[in-house]
Chains A and B, each alone.
Chain A
Amino acid sequence: MRIVLKGVLLLSCLLFVNCFGFNSRTDDFSTPIRNYKPIIMNRTAFENSIETLPVQAVQKSGKIYIFDQFMFVNDVNLGFHVYDYSNPTSPIAIKFLKIPGATDLAIRNSKLYINQAVDLVTMYFDSQALTFSVLYRNKDVFPQKNSPDGFQSYVEPNDIIINWIPN
């Protein structure tokens, strides 16, 4: 079963080769033309990058998450827009939680668990004061982000890829 699985995965890898953009415009494969470039932060700036900000426009909507009457809408690799849905017919934008590199969250008992790029960040949401605070950080528990077209980028130790943008 394991051998079959490995065989199928190998076959899938080979089939995938033409997904990784070996560009016919270049003759040698050592310098493929890249469609995206990484946005990088050093760890100190990265760990200090979380802020609660006033409402702002949505750049690129991502996944949604509900906790009590609050709706969290991810802005891909930027943070979360927070809405109060106490009135189903009238959602109110209340805050933007800026957290570069974040795409997902889970909430238990007002504790937020967020993937900030390579780290898992635990935060506390005070639903009365509408404030967010960082409780804990598990560092380097997730891999660096790949580009939308599946490329990796080498980064120095203590540098973190928080986003990829078109080249």
Chain B
Amino acid sequence: MKNNFLFLLVSVAFLLACSADSTSEKGNSDGTGGSLAIFALKGNYLYTVDATSLNVFSLINQQQPVKVNEVQVGFAIETLFSYGDNLYIGSRNGMFIYSITNPETPVLKSNVQHFTACDPVVSDGSFSYVTLHSNTRCGNNTNVLEVYDTSNTSSPVLLHRRNLIAPKGLGLYNDYLLICDDVIKIFDVSVPQNPILVHSINKQCFDVIIKNNDLFAIGSNGLYRYELNPTDITASTFKSQVVF
């Protein structure tokens, strides 16, 4: 009885200790960025995108990165998202999926094309979510949320597309998708092909970070922190803000 209790205590201690920053399989403590990020840490590598390329840096010596590859992706590359053994790259004319099963040699699996919009992408591996927003210098008027089935990375399938106001950064939290639009919109995506709005937060942001139950939203006017409620998303609470 006493041994069982001790085992339980030690297990809980381990679980709590691991709840800080994301710990990769190699025991690293990595930070967390938002959907507009152009850097991603995975295994012993730092992946970055610039306007045209995907760059691979080896971090076997964490104090001295070594560039080991540069892959031409396209043009107007904007964002990078890492999940599992894949990289999801958002550009102004499409989403690209690269496999990093061989970490130093990213391989293009697929791309989906669209025209003249600016898009971050987030993915849970099976489903990927992309926002496109119109860019006044291009005179386009596309403001859309797209949902893809990307369980087969070689062959993404568009499941859903809808018009929003001016969607930008986005993030996933359990069965929910949070989008920076005219306000922060929270969609239930337990059925990904049919997102349903369940809550909104009246803050203006261009990107979000969701970490455990914390929501951080960054906008031109401030940085906002909310605590998301995992059992009732509508009961999420404001914690603090920094006004710029």
Q: Which residues of A line the B interface, CB within 8 A?
A: 5, 8-9, 12-13, 15-16, 18-19, 21, 57-58, 60-68, 71, 73, 83, 85, 88-91, 93, 103-109, 111, 113, 115, 120, 122, 124, 135-136, 138, 141-143, 146, 148-150
Q: Give 24 A-B contacts (CB < 8 Å), ordered by A residue.
A: A8-B113, A9-B75, A9-B93, A13-B75, A16-B138, A58-B244, A66-B211, A67-B29, A67-B31, A73-B218, A73-B223, A88-B239, A88-B240, A90-B240, A93-B242, A104-B48, A106-B33, A111-B62, A115-B38, A115-B39, A122-B63, A138-B57, A141-B67, A143-B50
Fill in one digit per residue for B206-244: 1 if any A CB lies within 8 Å of its CB, else 0: 010101001010111001010100000000000110101
Fill in one digit per residue for B47-81: 1 if any A CB lies within 8 Å of its CB, else 0: 01011100101010011111100000011000000
Q: What is the CA–CA distance of A19 and B138 in the complex, to the nearest angstrom?
A: 5
Please give, as numbers and ranges, the residues of chain B lying within 8 Å of A113 by CB-CB distance. Answer: 39, 46, 57, 65
Fill in one digit per residue for B143-158: 1 if any A CB lies within 8 Å of its CB, else 0: 0000000000000000
Report B4-39 residues with CB < 8 Å from chain A CB: 20-21, 28-34, 36-39
Please give, as numbers and ranges, the residues of chain B lying within 8 Å of A61 by CB-CB distance. Answer: 218-220, 223, 244
Q: What is the CA–CA distance of A85 and B223 in the complex, to the nearest angstrom?
A: 12
Check A64–B218 contact: CB distance below 8 A: yes
User: How extensive is the interface on chain B, given as a class?
Assistant: 35 or more
Check B33–A65 contact: CB distance below 8 A: yes
Instruction: Tell yes or no: B83 within 8 A of A by CB.
Output: no
**Nearest B residue to A92, CB-CB:** B242
Please give, as numbers and ranges, the residues of chain A lying within 8 Å of B38 by CB-CB distance. Answer: 103-104, 115
**Nearest B residue to A135, CB-CB:** B63
Cβ contact of B39, chosen from A18, A67, A71, A104, cutoff 8 A: A104
